[in-house]
Amino acid sequence: MVNSSPAVAAHAEGEEIEVLESTDVLPVAPEDQWKSLFDKYDPENSGFINTERFRDLLAAHGSELDPHKLEVLLALADGNADGKICYQDFVNLVSSADELEMSNKRSNSFRRAILQGSRQLRNSALREEVGLGLSRRLVRHVAYETLPREVDRKWYFDSYTYCPPPWLMLAITIAEVIVFMYYGFQLNRWVLQVSSPYFLKGPLPYHPQLRAQAWRYLSYIFMHAGIEHLGLNMAMQLLVGVPLEMVHGALRIGLLYVCGALAGSLAVSVADMTAPVVGSSGGVYALVSAHLANVVMNWSGMKCQFKLFRMAMALVCMSVEFGRAVWLRFYPPAFPPCPNPSFVAHLGGVAVGLTLGVVVLQNYEQRLQEQSLFWIFFSVYTLFILCGIFWNIFAYSLLDVKLPPPP
C-alpha cells in the first residue's frame, strides 16, 4: 500500500513550482494512462507542455477528474509563471489527489497555496530537514508519532502554527492537579486519598446513591484515588493526549475523551452497580487505545523511532494502572459497606477507543460527518448511552440492588 504521495508548493513570488518527490512508486496503470494523454499535447516529447495546451487538455478530459482535483490542476496552470507544465508535476498531482480523496477543505487549501505561495515545503524528506528550532522539531516529532503518510506529515508540519495551542489536555490535567491538591490539604492525605471517610462526600465523584446527579457521570474524572493514580493518568494524558490534540484538534480529541469518560461511568453503573468511580482513566484509555490501534493498523507507514518498544511501554503503563485499579477494588474498604472505586471505567474507555476512537484518528483531513463508519459507531455508542440511562432509572429498583449508604 502506498503511504506517501507528492504534493506541490510554490515560492512566495510564484515563479517556480516545486515537486515533493516520493520514494514510493506511482501506480502503473493510471500513470500510463495520463502519460499517453500528456504525450498527445507534447508532440516534441520534451516533457513539458505550455499552459495553453494544458488548459486544452483539462477542458477535453477534465470530466474524468474529481472536481476538487481539477481545481488543483487549474491552480497549477494559473500559478506557473514560466508558461510550462512539467509532466512529472502533472502526474504527481493526479496521483496525490487520488490517494488523498481530497475534501473541499484540502483542495481549496492546495489551490490557495499554489496561487499565493503559502506552502513552501522542501523536496527532501521531512526527517532530513535541518536548522529547525525547538518548536518546529517538536511539530516534526508529533507528525511522525501520529500520522502514517508522508504527505500528511509534510502537510501538517507546514501548516501547524501552535494557534490555538493544545489547551484542552493541558487544562484538564491542570484541573486534576488542582483538585488533587485541594483534597490533599482538606483530607490531609496524599498517597491514598480514598482511605479518607470524607473522600466521596464532595460534589465530583460518582456514587451509586447519587446517580440522579447527572454531572457526576463526567465530573468524577477530576478526582483520583491517590498520587500513583493521578501520576499514571497524567503521564498517559500528556504523552499521548497532547500530541493527538496538536494533530487532530481539541474538538475531535475532546469528543473522544468525553465519550470515553461517559462510557466508563455508565459501564460501572451497569456492571459494578454498588461501586463508586473516580479518576480520568475512562477518557485516557479511550485516547491511548485508539492511538495504539491506529499505530498497529498503519504499522508500515508509522515512522516513529523505536515504535515496538514504545508500544510495549504504553501497554505496560496501561496494565500497571489497570492492575492497580483491580487490586484496589477488591482490597478491603476502609469504610465498609461502601466498596472501593471500580475498575470497569477503564474497560469502557478501551471499548470507545477501539471503535469510535479509531475512526476519529484514522483520517487526518476527512470530516467525521463524511465517514459512514463514524456514524455506525456513533449510533452504537448513542444506543449504549440510552440503554445505560434506562438501566440507571429502572434496573436498580427492579433488581432490588442493595446499595451502600450515601457518603
**pLDDT tens, residue by residue, 148-190:** 877 778 878 888 888 889 999 999 999 999 999 999 999 888 8
Compute CA distances 6 → 13, 15, 92, 155, 197, whole Å: 21, 19, 6, 11, 62
- Find the mean pLDDT for residues 307-335: 88
Pick the CATH number of 167-399 from 2.170.8.10, 3.40.50.300, 3.20.20.140, 1.20.1540.10: 1.20.1540.10
Which has the closest alpha carbon to 93: 14, 5, 28? Answer: 5
What pLDDT sits at residue 282?
95
Instruction: Kindly report the pTM of this predicted structure.
Output: 0.72
**pLDDT tens, residue by residue, 229-271:** 999 999 999 999 999 999 999 999 999 999 999 999 999 999 9
Residue 17 has pLDDT above 80, yes or no: no
Give the type of residue at 203: P
Cβ–Cβ under 8 Å, residues 266 and 384: yes
- The H helix count followed by the E strand count for the chain is 17, 4
Which residue among the candidates 68, 207, 229, 346 is catalytic per the annotation? 346
- Find the mean pLDDT for residues 50-57: 76
What pLDDT sits at residue 75?
62
Domain ranges of the chain: 31-120, 167-399
Phi-psi region of 78 (alpha: psi -120 to 50; beta: other; left: phi over 0): alpha
pLDDT confidence bin for 122, thresholds 50/70/90: very low
Which residue among the candidates 95, 281, 289, 342 is catalytic per the annotation? 281
What pLDDT sits at residue 148?
82
Which of the pair, 35 or 342, is modelled with greater confidence? Answer: 342
What pLDDT sits at residue 25?
39
Helical pair 344-352 and 242-271, crossing angle rounded to 10 deg: 130
- State the DSSP code for 69: H
Cα-based torsion angle of the residue sequence 175, 176, 181, 186 in order, rounded to the nearest 10 degrees: 100
Residue 342, Cβ density class (10 Å: 0-12 exposed, 13-18 middle, ≥19 buried)? buried
pLDDT confidence bin for 125, thresholds 50/70/90: low
**pLDDT tens, residue by residue, 73-119:** 666 555 555 566 766 666 655 554 444 444 444 444 444 444 444 33
Architecture of domain 31-120: Orthogonal Bundle (1.10)
269 tagged catalytic: no
- Find the mean pLDDT for residues 281-289: 95
Distance of CA 220 to the CA centre of its chain: 23
**CA 355 – CA 351 distance, rounded (Å):** 6
118 tagged catalytic: no
